[in-house]
């Protein structure tokens, strides 16, 4: 009986040691998240870098948790720097407007993964063209000789608004003076203060800004044709498995309770969800570029 008991104890010790060894090997095979090379997620934004980091922290934390590896935010300032960062492999995935994405794709630097669906429930939007109510301006054909304020020269809303003006018979480049604020609030205030005659920005952003700034003295005189919303893209030559997994996670956020909570926090960026990217939507941007004589 003692011999049997001894053999049982010996076998138990052996199995315990074997289990410990297997667990150690598992840990070695799957290194902790903080030891993996971080995924670099670039965000091209007109907002200050500190605010951009704060706005996107919930997103990168969610992606890090779902992907099982760290994700960090990179904020290149401007199209040129984003292009260089993608070419040099300093960003892996990035969030840019549809015009910037098209230019990066044409340069062989990016592939589209997901399209932002805005809080109006659409993957497209329109540029709102607005003036002071007491300006006497009721139609875009009255803008000849006016100063027109846009947000950014590489902004999709700029392309759409300028294309609309050309469509209405106004040579936006020659008949108006173009200025860029690179700031949504500044664009609104310049019109309110009478510093410029007219301004334009994404219509969804205009509605969001109207909750922060009293726009009662302003009126919209036109909306441009629709243009695509922002895009999440990946740099070329990235691991296809990582690209596929990243795409799956980001486009299924709205079906995940934790993802839904993150998306809710991003509504101030006009983001409702992310949809699978459809390259056919690029034709919309190309048409606007042609109409706007770019």
Q: What is the pLDDT along the chain (294 residues), one digit of tens a residue?
A: 444 444 444 444 454 454 444 444 443 444 444 457 899 999 999 999 999 999 999 999 999 999 999 999 999 988 889 888 988 889 999 999 999 999 999 999 999 999 999 999 999 999 999 999 999 999 999 999 999 999 999 899 999 999 999 999 999 888 999 999 999 999 999 999 999 999 999 999 999 999 999 999 999 999 999 999 999 999 998 999 999 999 999 999 999 999 999 999 999 999 999 999 999 999 999 999 999 999
For 223-292, give the DSSP string.
E---EE--EEEEETT--HHHHHHHHHHHHTGGGSHHHHHHHHHTGGGTEEEEEE--GGGHHHHHHHHHHT
Q: Which CATH architecture has domain 127-225?
A: 3-Layer(aba) Sandwich (3.40)
CATH number, domain 34-121+228-280, options 3.40.190.10, 2.40.70.10, 3.50.50.60, 1.10.230.10: 3.40.190.10
Instruction: Measure the CA–CA gap between 130 and 24, rounded to whole angstroms.
Output: 65
Could you tell me the residue ranges of all domains in the chain?
34-121+228-280, 127-225
Query: Is 127-225 in the same CATH topology as 34-121+228-280?
Result: yes
């Amino acid at each position: 009986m003692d011999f049997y008991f001894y053999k049982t104890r010996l076998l138990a010790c052996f199995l315990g040691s074997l289990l410990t060894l297997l667990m150690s090997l598992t840990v070695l095979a799957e290194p902790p998240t903080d030891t993996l090379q971080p995924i670099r997620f670039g965000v091209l934004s007109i907002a200050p870098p500190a605010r951009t980091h704060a706005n996107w922290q919930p997103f990168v934390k969610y992606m890090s948790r779902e992907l099982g590896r760290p994700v960090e935010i990179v904020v290149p300032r401007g199209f040129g720097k984003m292009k260089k960062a993608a070419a040099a492999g300093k960003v892996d995935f990035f969030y840019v407007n549809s015009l910037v994405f098209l230019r990066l794709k044409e340069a062989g630097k990016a592939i589209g993964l997901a399209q932002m669906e805005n809080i109006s429930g659409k993957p497209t939007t329109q540029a709102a063209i607005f003036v002071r109510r007491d300006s006497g301006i009721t139609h875009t054909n009255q803008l000849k000789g006016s100063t027109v304020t846009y947000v950014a020269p590489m902004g999709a809303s700029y392309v759409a608004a300028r294309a609309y003006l050309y469509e209405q018979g106004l040579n936006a480049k020659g008949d108006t003076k173009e200025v860029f604020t690179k700031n949504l609030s500044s664009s609104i205030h310049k019109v309110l203060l009478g510093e410029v005659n007219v301004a334009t920005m994404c219509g969804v952003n205009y509605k969001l800004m109207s909750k922060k700034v009293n726009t009662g003295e302003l009126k919209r005189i036109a909306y441009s044709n629709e243009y695509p919303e922002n895009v999440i893209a990946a740099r070329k030559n990235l691991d296809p498995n990582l690209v596929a997994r990243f795409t799956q996670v980001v486009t299924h956020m709205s079906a995940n309770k934790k993802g839904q909570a993150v998306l809710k926090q991003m509504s101030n960026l006009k983001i409702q969800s992310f949809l699978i990217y459809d390259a056919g939507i690029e034709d919309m941007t190309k048409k606007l570029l042609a109409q706007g004589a770019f």
